[in-house]
Amino acid sequence: MNTLVTGGNGLVGSHFNEDFIKVSSKDYDLISNEKTKEMFETHTPDRVIHAAARVGGLGSNIKYKSDYFYENVCINANVIENSRLYNVDKLVCFLTTCIFPHNQVSYPIRPQYLHDGPPHESNFGYAYAKRMAEVQIRAINEQYDKNYFCVIPTNIFGPHDNFSLEHGHVIPMLIHKMYISKNFNRDFEVWGTGKPLREFIFAKDVAKLTEKLLDEYNETDSVILSTSNEFTIKEVVDILVDIFKFKGKVVWNKEKPDGQYRKPTDNSKILELFPDFKFTGLRDGLEETVEWFNKNYGSARKQSINYRH
């Protein structure tokens, strides 16, 4: 059975079973439907894990809303529709918790709340593109009787992330900034107040859970991948200061935005399916990620993203 992973060199994709066929943007430009068709014709997958996306941190999402929307809509539409056209038996599509309504009325967040209101203004381009992937999959399941579904992980971190200082997510960006601050004796500046709460999940855990779902889950409802443990950004910074043994000054730039204050999730579905699964603790995951980054600084992804202009 052929299992194809898009985004195969990325944060989650790099941790999947080595027997899987892993492709990246260097192999196929999934914004192009012709290149996407070529990928399916070449690899003839029976199952697809769709983890490819144009992603970035808060500042990048604010600045490039149109690009995030267009590119992700194209990527998702092409992969999902060609999965149907090429008779893929099972498709798992990656979403993210940032697509949920900003003014969430009821917590914890559950998959059925997805379309109950607009996402946070800071990332609405990316968020709406991801929402459309869920809509497309639901429509295909109903019209063509497919067994496709979405997973919705919280903030993923780990080795093989993009540690870009401009476009990275919060943890890889903080790790890279602290690496520079320590090695060049600079202050360590962090955006915002440090008060917002986030749930973090280790990339290896996401890969393991997704593989288990691919093998064992036969429903079409979306599944949240989460530990349901919240940490403030300040708590993350404090752990990194300790891991790096950073002796410099931490500066909180309160003129910069915090983003959404909190978005706690309901992980009861994944716990019901896999009650014995052991999640990696935040500190353990951060230690492994920092160790990997220090050893692979020269080759680790730190690049900016090329946007359309």
Please, is 112 exposed, middle or buried when counting C-beta atoms within 10 Å of its C-beta (0-12, 13-18, 19+)? exposed
Dihedral sign (CA 157, 204, 269, 47):
positive
Identify the three-state secondary structure at position 91: strand
Phi first, then psi, for residue 115 (nearest 5°) are -110, 25
Place of tokens 């539409």: 77
Q: How far apart are CA 151 and CA 197, in angstroms?
A: 21
Catalytic residues, by residue number, are: 126
The rounded Cα 251 to chain-centroid distance in angstroms is: 27
Q: How far apart are CA 300 and CA 233, in angstroms?
A: 23
| Residues 236 and 281: beta-carbon distance below 8 Å | no
